[in-house]
Amino acid sequence: MQPDEASDEEEEDPNSSGSHTNDAFNQPDAQGRVQVNVAHPAEEPDIFLAPQLARAVKPHQVGGIRFLYDNLVESQDRFSNSNGFGCILAHSMGLGKTLQLISFMDVFLRNTDAKTVLCIVPVNTLQNWVSEFNMWLPTAQDLREKFSADVAPDIQTREFGLYVLNDNLKSNTARAGVVSNWRRQGGVLLMGYEMYRLLTSKKDRNKELLKELHEALMRPGPDLVVCDEGHRIKNSHASISQALKNIRTKRRVVLTGYPLQNNLLEYWCMVDFVRPNYLGSKTEFCNMFERPIMNGQCVDSTPQDARLMRFRAHVLHSLLEGFVQRRGHAVLQLALPTKEEYVLLVRMSPIQRTLYSKFMVSMTETGLQNWASNNPLKAFSVCCKIWNHPDVLHRIVEQRKVDDNDLDLEGPMEGEEGKGKKGRGGKAAAKRQGSAAQSAASSPLPSETSRPPSSVPDTDTPVPSLMNDKKDQMITFEWAEELLRGYQEGLLEHGGKLVLLMDLIHQTITNGDKLLIFSQSLFTLNLIEDFLGREYIPGTQERWFKNRSYFRLDGSTSGLDREKLINQFNAEDNNQVHLFLLSTRAGCLGINLIGANRVVIFDASWNPCHDCQAVCRVYRYGQCKPCYVYRLVTDNTLEKKIYDRQINKQGMSDRVVDELNPQHMIRKQADALLEYEDKDMPTVDANCADMTNDTVLGNVLRRHHGWLTKNPFTHESLLIDRKDQKLTKSEKRLAKQGYEMEKKMNVSYSRPSYAAFYPKASGANVR
């Protein structure tokens, strides 16, 4: 590179953007105090964090709290004389967003005229929020009970009330009572997303009660609204998005570790919530950003397409810097031990290959190919029963069931009791058929009892549910009956994933570590328990017992039971519990499981956010051991294509939010996902075991390398930052100029070619 070109490059950290991201300045003062309003007017006093919080927060968290103050308060004078604005705290999972918000809410309620804060969170994280509040901001009574009179800890107590709407409150009258107390006395109110939607709907016969609820929650609403996991505001037409848009409160905070889940329009929805109309209408956003960025993502995109994509992604990034603070995993990597993620491409066994081929052929023969293309998630559910292990499929066929209540995905939400609906995890988890795993009879931990729908994690999604829409053909398994006649259950070698998993468990325990296993299939979790029940714990003569040597958590587990299981699993003196089975949806949020340092993602999720969140249960502050993640993906199947699709979506998120430039991936359309060619897959030799420094994985590979179709590869390597794709200062100026010119022209993109709008520069190389 020539000197003049070097000077044109802009040095920046692609993992951090927004104000207060220079951690050299996010430090306590000489007295250990952390000032929040660092740029306040001279006439206003300094504002400091509570001393116990100042001792706990990391530099990046100091920056996050200051960012929140600057966007939501600005100054005490501005707070009193304006309606305020919203902002997005887009910190990667594991960076402590909950602690930052608790710290800010304490500052907010102590130093402004504000009285009420509403926190809308995923229902399965409610208990975690309560625990965090009680830990970091105890009440005066809590301190008196914990410390004797002659001990005066340097702890500032919580001076505001904490109110929770959970599944213990069954009627709207009881819920309204809590809301009324919160509104009258002030403080923080915690509730789930679906609870908020229900309470703000116009369906209650008690008009006076409805009026009070609406005044407290919407019109005029609280002084501050916080939406945890704010990427749930991802569909402008979804009922929860519509309910939230009715809030008149302008001071809004979105917390998210994954601002982009499925597409750029979901990103627009989140931004439009905190800053309405800032990015224009949905149509304008599509024209200016979504289509140019999507058009440049494919490997067959022209150089001009790719260049426009990079230009437009930079413009979008720069437009959001003022009210979006992004901190990436680089912050964690500096503070934690190493993390290695391996992808193991697994071959199908002969019976799996036969079943998979038959299912694909049957869809064509029965005319279901178009149906499957329109309902790929339902086809995925069937295929999951094949590639995870054929025993799962055999049990369904033997019991003459339809494909119901398996994937721990979407279902009825809290507050819908009495409507005759089933929670997505309740029936399958509570009535497991033929499990050989045993539960300790004397265990004080939760047993497998049915839970109400309110214990199920809440979300709002456009993806069709497997349990709904009965008129849309429910999958049956007649195509498999002949193939499974005489099938023998209980043979591990019928599925390579389980062969690898059982040895990973054995090697992990032998190595003195703990392991998490995530699957989105409840039936698969049942099967894993069955195989565990036949085995001895490595190094002992004791068999695996549920709630004694391993735990399980899925959508049927209540909030209180979740907390009990998690605390016992993480306890340093607990050497009895080695393993935690979790459904991906129920276990990927609101959980700290740093007691483990190894994770198995047993099946790829449709949404990469869920798998990444699962990984971050162990890779977070407090982790003391190197972490290892094993993703099991069945090659030459729909699952492999879904994994490829994950990388595509992850790449888009990195490009727009972090301004990273992942290697390009081909977009997978729904109809292409179901294409299948029955062919022999390659094998790898035992030398692949020497390619890793992980002794656990190396030992597994030496024994079972024949189950792999490719040498294990690292997950991060697919998303490496391409330095050659970064924009220079002059390119950034061109990007801005091109955007402004196009904005004035108000051009509507109705064609795939953008040639007329490519930024031009004399003498500039198109890259």
Give the pLDDT confidence score for residue 205 in this predicted structure.
67
Q: Sorting pLDDT into bands at 50, 70 and 90, what band is 62?
A: very high
Residue at 738: amino acid letter:
G
Overall average pLDDT of the 222-235 stretch: 88
329: its two tokens: 């995993």
| Alpha-carbon distance values, 68 to 234, 439, 583, 697 (Å) | 22, 47, 33, 43
Tell me how far apart the alpha carbons of residues 118 and 98 are, in angstroms, rounded to a whole number. Answer: 14
Give the pLDDT confidence score for residue 332 in this predicted structure.
83
**pLDDT tens digits, one per residue of 92-140:** 888 999 999 999 999 999 999 999 999 999 988 898 899 999 999 999 8
Give the pLDDT confidence score for residue 648 in this predicted structure.
65
pLDDT at residue 260 tops 70: no
Percent of the chain with pLDDT over 90: 48
Nearest alpha carbon to residue 342 among 685, 722, 698, 618: 698
Q: Sorting pLDDT into bands at 50, 70 and 90, what band is 413?
A: very low
Give the pLDDT confidence score for residue 106 in this predicted structure.
98
Instruction: Kindly provide the b/e burial profile for residues 319-333, where b requires at least 16 CB atoms within 10 angstroms of the residue's own CB.
Output: bbebbbbbbbbebbe
**Would you call 327 helix, strand, or coil by DSSP?**
strand
Give the pLDDT confidence score for residue 400 in this predicted structure.
73
Residues 6+ apart with CB under 8 A from 395: 433, 434, 489, 523
Please name the residue that has the structure tokens 């790829």. Answer: 604
**pLDDT tens digits, one per residue of 677-705:** 888 899 899 889 988 999 999 999 999 99
Overall average pLDDT of the 594-615 stretch: 87
Greater pLDDT, 580 or 411: 580
Report yes or no: 659 and 14 within 8 Å, Cβ to Cβ. Answer: yes
Give the pLDDT confidence score for residue 234 in this predicted structure.
74
Report yes or no: 439 and 545 within 8 Å, Cβ to Cβ. Answer: yes
610: its two tokens: 């869920």
H or E element in which residue 516 lies: strand 515-519
pLDDT at residue 187 tops 60: yes
Sign, CA torsion 351/352/353/358:
positive
Overall average pLDDT of the 543-554 stretch: 96
Give the pLDDT confidence score for residue 265 in this predicted structure.
82
Residues 6+ apart with CB under 8 A from 442: none
Greater pLDDT, 573 or 655: 573
Give the pLDDT confidence score for residue 256 in this predicted structure.
87
Question: Is the pTM here over 0.75, yes or no?
Answer: yes
How is residue 536 annotated by DSSP?
B
pLDDT at residue 303 tops 80: yes
Residue at 442: amino acid letter:
S
Residues 6+ apart with CB under 8 A from 714: 340, 341, 342, 343
Which has the minimum average pLDDT: 459-473, 629-643, 724-738? 459-473
Residue 616: φ, ψ to 5°? -75, 0
Tell me how far apart the alpha carbons of residues 745 and 447 are, in angstroms, rounded to a whole number. Answer: 64
Best mean pLDDT range from 2-6, 150-154, 358-362, 464-468: 358-362
Q: Sorting pLDDT into bands at 50, 70 and 90, what band is 287?
A: confident
| Alpha-carbon distance values, 348 to 354, 403, 517, 564, 736 (Å) | 9, 22, 20, 38, 50
Tell me the sheet residues that pair with 226.
119, 253
Rounded (10°) angle between helices 350-365 and 390-398: 60
Nearest alpha carbon to residue 86 among 301, 234, 215, 247: 247
Q: Sorting pLDDT into bands at 50, 70 and 90, what band is 489?
A: very high
Give the pLDDT confidence score for residue 631 in this predicted structure.
95
Best mean pLDDT range from 288-302, 445-459, 518-532: 518-532
Nearest alpha carbon to residue 167 among 580, 592, 561: 561
149: its two tokens: 């009179």
Overall average pLDDT of the 327-353 stretch: 91
Best mean pLDDT range from 429-443, 491-505, 574-588, 708-722: 491-505
Residue at 11: amino acid letter:
E
List of domains in the chain = 39-275 (3.40.50.10810), 336-413+479-719 (3.40.50.300)
**Residue length of the chain:** 767
462: its two tokens: 């456009």
Distance of CA 401 to the CA centre of its chain: 31
Tell me how far apart the alpha carbons of residues 34 and 32 are, in angstroms, rounded to a whole number. Answer: 7
* Helical H segments across 451-574, by residue range: 478-481, 496-510, 522-533, 559-570
Residue at 638: amino acid letter:
L
Instruction: Kindly provide the b/e burial profile for residues 558-585, where b requires at least 16 CB atoms within 10 angstroms of the residue's own CB.
Output: bbebbbbbbebbbeeeeeebbbbbbbbb
Maximum Cα interatomic distance, the chain, rounded to a whole number of Å: 84
Residue 620: φ, ψ to 5°? -155, 175
Q: Cα dihedral angle (116, 121, 126, 128), rounded to 10 degrees?
A: -100
Give the pLDDT confidence score for residue 469 in this predicted structure.
39
Nearest alpha carbon to residue 403 among 434, 430, 372: 372
Give the pLDDT confidence score for residue 192 in this predicted structure.
93
Give the pLDDT confidence score for residue 415 in this predicted structure.
36
Which 3-state string (H, E, C) describes 456-468?
Answer: CCCCCCCCCCCCC
CA R_g for the chain: 27
Residue 737: φ, ψ to 5°? -65, -45
Q: What DSSP letter does each residue of 581-593 carry, written as one string?
A: EEEHHHHSSS---
pLDDT at residue 8 tops 70: no
pLDDT at residue 765 tops 50: no
25: its two tokens: 């300045």
pLDDT at residue 335 tops 90: no
Rounded (10°) angle between helices 729-745 and 303-320: 90
Tell me how far apart the alpha carbons of residues 18 and 174 are, in angstroms, rounded to a whole number. Answer: 42
Euclidean distance between the first and the last CA atom of the chain, given in angstroms as a whole number: 15
Greater pLDDT, 585 or 701: 701
H or E element in which residue 129 lies: helix 126-136
Give the pLDDT confidence score for residue 410 in this predicted structure.
44
- Other CB atoms within a 10 A radius of the CB of residue 626 amount to 15
pLDDT at residue 423 tops 50: no
Tell me how far apart the alpha carbons of residues 559 and 135 are, in angstroms, rounded to a whole number. Answer: 17
396: its two tokens: 């369904």
720: its two tokens: 């490496």
Give the pLDDT confidence score for residue 465 in this predicted structure.
34
pLDDT at residue 346 tops 70: yes
